[in-house]
């Protein structure tokens, strides 16, 4: 047990700092993806509940594609496909260069589109839970369409969509593990290296699982706090 | 009553279809043109890079990979379904130890990435090689395929247990009480009264779980199982031809959409008595 503690310690003998760094990268990736995914998901949901059939269809195609593709495959499509497309673009501009897409960016894009595809479904069902009278009331008191959305509909949407979105956040946190495959030094990659070097596979992959669990537990505390504050602010008086 | 209904019917004329080109319509058509361009681009690309030699060489590999994927998902789902019954029982039981264990199991497998679980089982259990050899299980845990099935079964068991629990608890208590009043024992109540109603609720989540497993199964390619994704990665690493990934994407999308369609059809068929005509 003593050797396990040495291996996990911080400093030159231990892998603690590597794992901490990996945790930081995982959290950064998830946090960087979240706003992009939320905003994109909201706009896709807007498209899917619009009165215009062509806009609805376009939104549904987006969801179908990015909900149906395996996460790993989406990541590879973005990572390798982006590289190949950029290289072809540079070649057509007359420049022969090798381009490597940053793994963090590729992970952010791939995770972001997947998150937004799922988030759009959550937002859509929240939109459907809001009665027409809310829009009509907004119209009756003289708000513009944009103001109705911002002041009347959006606050209710957020409250209804919050449980679904928190689930998606937990999924996002877990899906970040996939970027270790394209070489980003997240938790799983750092523990994988440590496991290979020290030949303590069970210890280090067990630690990786525990770190993810701790992140999930911290997240649920955060989510509970947000839910409580939103419920207090939005509760009918 | 009828006057009110008529009034509201008169007031709610169907909105007139908007003519011309409002902003949303322009946006919608632009986006559809974009999707059309993407689809057309993929078709043109696939025609342009069409290579009979490549196709002949890798088509059988893709088919065998697809078969491996389907086998993996099917076996894991079935084993997971069996394992999920005691776990769901534990989650619903009032015994503190049993409930705690089931809660911990579900929390662990739903809170950590499937990839990390697979690594923990495939690489991690290698640390216990002497012990596993002693009990004769080493040949099982040495094999990536068995490890994948093991990890996926444990993972899906946690999710399926929650689906099962949610479905059973969605059946109202009155159903249990009424059947007790009729003199049915608990097992009979479960089998004849509760389960048929619970399964209707559980159908869609089960369909989603199968879809999630098919998508999630792509990660076994990382531990050297040659499923559809594994064959794709092998083909790409040998040819550096990007169309290998495009074909895989098309196949995965097709499977998922077919499954979604089938689930919806089954659900529509089974719930036809609930539709108000």
**Cβ–Cβ pairs < 8 A, chains A and B:** 139
> Which CATH code fits B61-270?
1.10.3720.10
Domain boundaries, chain B: 61-270
Per-residue pLDDT at B220 exceeds 90? yes
pLDDT at A22: 93
Whole-angstrom CA distances from B199 to B83, B156, B195, B203 are 17, 17, 6, 6
What mean pLDDT do residues B153-176 have?
94
Chain A, 172 to 231: residues with Cβ < 8 Å from chain B are 174-178, 180-181, 188, 192, 195, 199-203, 205-206, 208-209, 212-213, 216-217
pLDDT range class, residue B137, cuts 50, 70, 90:
confident
Nearest 5 degrees, angle CA A60-CA A61-CA A62? Answer: 90
What mean pLDDT do residues B233-256 have?
92
Judge whether A234 is closer than 8 Å to chain B, CB to CB.
no
**What's chain A's average pLDDT?**
89
- Give the Cα separation of A142 and A152 in Å (integer): 12
pLDDT at A1: 46
Burial B20-40 (b: 16+ CB within 10 A, else e): eeeebbebbbebbeeeeeeee
**What ranges in B217-242 are assigned the alpha helix state H?**
228-239
Whole-angstrom CA distances from B53 to A211, B40, B59 are 47, 24, 10
pLDDT at A144: 87
Q: Which residue has the tokens 């750092």?
A: A190
**What ranges in B135-194 are assigned the alpha helix state H?**
138-141, 144-170, 173-181, 186-188
Judge whether B25 is closer than 8 Å to chain A, CB to CB.
yes
What mean pLDDT do residues B171-183 have?
92
pLDDT at B4: 47
User: Under the phi-then-psi rule, with left for phi > 0, alpha for psi from -120 to 50, and beta for the rest, what region is B108?
Assistant: alpha
Q: Residue A123 class from Cβ within 10 Å (0-12 exposed, 13-18 middle, 19+ buried)? A: buried
Closest residue to A202, CB basis, from B28, B124, B256: B124
Burial B227-248 (b: 16+ CB within 10 A, else e): bbbbbbbbbbeeeebbbbbbbb
ipTM: 0.88
Q: Which residues of A touch B35 (CB under 8 A)?
A: 58, 61
Token pair recorded at residue B163: 């689906």
- Give the Cα separation of B170 and B167 in Å (integer): 5
Chain A, 1 to 20: residues with Cβ < 8 Å from chain B are none
State the fold for domain A2-234: MetI-like fold (1.10.3720)
- Expressed in percent and rounded to 5, the helix, strand and coil fractions of chain A are 85, 0, 15
Preferred mutation among A46, A57, A66, A73 to probe B, highest tally of B CBs within 10 A: A73
Q: Which residues of A touch B256 (CB under 8 A)?
A: 67-68
Give the residue among A206, A150, A166, A207 at the shortest CA–CA distance from A19: A207
What mean pLDDT do residues A165-172 have?
94
Closest residue to B28, CB basis, from A54, A199, A213: A54
State the CB neighbour count (10 A cutoff) for residue A48.
20
What mean pLDDT do residues A64-80 have?
94
Interface touch B229/A209, C-beta < 8 Å:
no
Q: Which residues of B touch A76 (CB under 8 A)?
A: 233, 245
Judge whether B219 is closer than 8 Å to chain A, CB to CB.
yes
Interface touch A54/B242, C-beta < 8 Å:
no
Question: What is the least distance, in Å, from the CA of A2 to any CA of chain B?
Answer: 17
DSSP for A131-196, please give it: -HHHHHHHHHTT--HHHIIIIIIHHHHHHHHHHHHHHHHHHHHHHGGGGGGGT---HHHHHHHHHH
Question: What is the least distance, in Å, from the CA of A237 to any CA of chain B?
Answer: 30
Domain boundaries, chain A: 2-234
Q: Which residues of B touch A180 (CB under 8 A)?
A: 115
Q: For A208-217, B8-17, B253-262, which range has the lowest pLDDT when averaged over its residues?
A: B8-17
């Amino acid at each position: 047990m003593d050797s396990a503690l040495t291996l996990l310690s911080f400093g030159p003998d231990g892998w603690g700092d590597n794992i901490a760094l990996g945790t930081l990268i995982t959290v950064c990736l998830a946090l960087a993806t979240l706003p992009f995914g939320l905003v994109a998901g909201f706009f896709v949901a807007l498209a899917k509940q619009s009165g215009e059939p062509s806009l609805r269809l376009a939104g549904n195609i987006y969801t179908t594609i990015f909900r149906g593709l395996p996460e790993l495959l989406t990541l590879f499509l973005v990572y390798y496909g982006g590289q190949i497309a950029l290289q072809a673009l540079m070649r057509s501009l007359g420049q022969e260069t090798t381009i490597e897409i940053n793994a963090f960016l590729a992970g952010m894009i791939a995770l972001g589109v997947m998150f937004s595809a799922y988030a759009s479904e959550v937002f859509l069902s929240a939109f459907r839970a809001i009665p027409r009278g809310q829009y009509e009331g907004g119209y009756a008191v003289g708000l513009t369409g944009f103001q109705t959305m911002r002041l009347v509909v959006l606050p209710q949407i957020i409250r209804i969509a919050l449980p679904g979105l928190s689930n998606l956040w937990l999924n996002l946190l877990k899906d970040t593990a996939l970027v270790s495959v394209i070489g980003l030094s997240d938790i799983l990659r750092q523990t994988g290296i440590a496991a290979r070097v020290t030949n303590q596979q069970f210890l280090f992959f067990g630690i990786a699982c525990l770190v993810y669990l701790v992140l999930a537990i911290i997240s649920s505390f955060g989510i509970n706090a947000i839910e409580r504050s939103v419920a207090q602010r939005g509760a009918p008086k | 009553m009828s006057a009110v209904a008529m009034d509201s019917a008169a007031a709610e004329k169907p909105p007139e279809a908007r003519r011309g080109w409002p902003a949303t319509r322009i946006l919608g058509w632009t986006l559809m043109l974009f999707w059309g361009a993407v689809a057309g681009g993929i078709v043109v690309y696939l025609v342009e890079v069409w290579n009979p030699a490549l196709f002949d060489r890798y088509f059988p590999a893709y088919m065998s990979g697809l078969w491996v994927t389907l086998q993996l998902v099917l076996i894991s789902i079935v084993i997971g379904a069996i394992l999920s019954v005691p776990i769901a029982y534990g989650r619903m039981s009032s015994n503190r130890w049993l409930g705690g264990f089931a809660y911990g199991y579900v929390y662990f497998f739903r809170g950590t990435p499937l990839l990390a679980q697979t690594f923990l089982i495939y690489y991690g259990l290698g640390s216990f090689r002497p012990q596993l050899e002693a009990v004769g299980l080493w040949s099982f845990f040495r094999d990536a395929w068995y490890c994948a099935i093991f990890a996926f079964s444990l993972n899906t068991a946690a999710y399926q247990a929650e689906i099962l629990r949610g479905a059973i608890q969605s059946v109202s208590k009155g159903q249990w009480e009424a059947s007790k009043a009729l003199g049915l024992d608990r097992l009979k109540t479960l089998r004849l009264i509760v389960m048929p109603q619970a399964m209707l609720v559980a159908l869609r989540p089960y369909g989603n779980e199968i879809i999630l497993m098919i998508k999630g199964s792509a990660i076994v390619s990382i531990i050297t199982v040659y499923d559809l994704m594994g064959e794709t990665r092998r083909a790409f690493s040998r040819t550096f031809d990007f169309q290998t990934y495009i074909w895989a994407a098309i196949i995965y999308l097709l499977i998922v959409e077919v499954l979604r369609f089938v689930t919806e059809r089954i659900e529509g068929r089974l719930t036809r008595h609930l539709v108000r005509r």
